[in-house]
């Protein structure tokens, strides 16, 4: 049996996710769209905290909400006049997008509600997960170690930095 606070938190988070994701893609002012995306990302971080992955929630807030959304806001303010609406989407395109999205959601939802027998699972007890354990796993080379992806992603970030400098350099 779940505690009442947890249930209320879940419903608030689910409502925020649903409403703000719809608003993100339907609002015509792009800065508002970025703001709604920020709310969605915060709600996602709360889900991670609810799942007891505290480190992941912190990473989500620091990288997504603190880094990516700020980048978006910078890019929007550099390329748009504030307060100006985007051009109206033609209705044929909108219908096409809505049909594609609804079709995908309907197929996945049907599969979820009818076939999946794992959907009724309860939250099981999880062994204590501290930062030291995560760090050891990230840098170990045995069966559940993640040293190779860790190094690969460092090389990728280096490539990203160099690429950013090369692209943004004034010729």
Partner 1 sequence: MNLTLLMYLVPSLIMFGCGVYGFLTRKNMIAIMISLELMLNSVDINFVVFNRYLFPEQMEGMFFTLFAIALAAAETALALAIIINVFRVARKVDINQLTKLKF
Q: Interface residues for partner 1 in 46-105 (CB under 8 A)? A: 47-48, 51-53, 56, 59-60, 63-64, 67-68, 71-72, 74-76, 78-80, 86-87, 89, 93-94, 96-98, 100-102, 104-105
Q: How far is the CB of 82 from partner 1 (least distance, A)?
A: 14
| Placement of tokens 């709600």 in the chain | 43
Let me know: does 23 contact 99? Beta carbons within 8 Å. no
Query: On the CB side of 44, how many CA atoms lie within 13 Å of its CA?
Result: 16
Residues 108-147 that bind partner 1 (CB under 8 A): 108-109, 112-113, 116, 118-127, 129, 134, 137-138, 144, 146
Nearer to partner 1, 83 or 120 (CB): 120
How many residues in total does the chain contain?
171
Q: 52: phi > 0 → left, psi -120 to 50 → alpha, else beta; which?
A: left
Q: Can you say how many angstroms the Cα of residue 87 is from the centroid of all Cα atoms in its chain?
A: 27
Among 12, 131, 139, 160, binds partner 1 (CB under 8 A): 160
Tokens of 42: 């915060």
Q: How far is the CB of 127 from partner 1 (least distance, A)?
A: 6
**Number of CB atoms found within 10 A of residue 107's CB:** 10
Q: Which residues fall within 8 angstroms of residue 23, CB to CB, at 6 or more apart?
A: 32, 33, 36
Q: How far is the CB of 80 from partner 1 (least distance, A)?
A: 8
Q: How far is the CB of 52 from partner 1 (least distance, A)?
A: 7
Tokens of 73: 């806001």
Residues 28-47 that bind partner 1 (CB under 8 A): 30, 33-34, 37, 40-41, 44, 47
Residues 6-25 that bind partner 1 (CB under 8 A): 6-7, 10, 13-14, 17-18, 21-22, 24-25
């Amino acid at each position: 049996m779940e505690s009442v606070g947890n249930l209320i938190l879940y419903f608030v988070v689910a409502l925020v996710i649903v409403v703000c994701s719809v608003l993100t893609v339907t609002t015509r002012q792009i800065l508002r769209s970025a703001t709604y995306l920020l709310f969605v990302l915060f709600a996602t971080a709360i889900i991670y905290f609810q799942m007891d992955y505290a480190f992941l929630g912190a990473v989500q807030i620091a990288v997504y909400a603190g880094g990516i959304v700020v980048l978006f806001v910078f890019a929007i303010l550099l390329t748009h006049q504030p307060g100006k609406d985007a051009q109206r989407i033609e209705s044929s395109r909108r219908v096409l997008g809505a049909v594609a999205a609804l079709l995908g959601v309907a197929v996945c939802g049907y599969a979820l509600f009818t076939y999946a027998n794992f959907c009724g699972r309860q939250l099981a007890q999880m062994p204590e997960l501290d930062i030291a354990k995560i760090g050891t796993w990230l840098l170990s080379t045995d069966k559940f170690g993640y040293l190779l992806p860790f190094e690969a992603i460092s090389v990728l970030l280096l490539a990203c930095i160099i690429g950013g400098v090369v692209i943004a350099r004034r010729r």
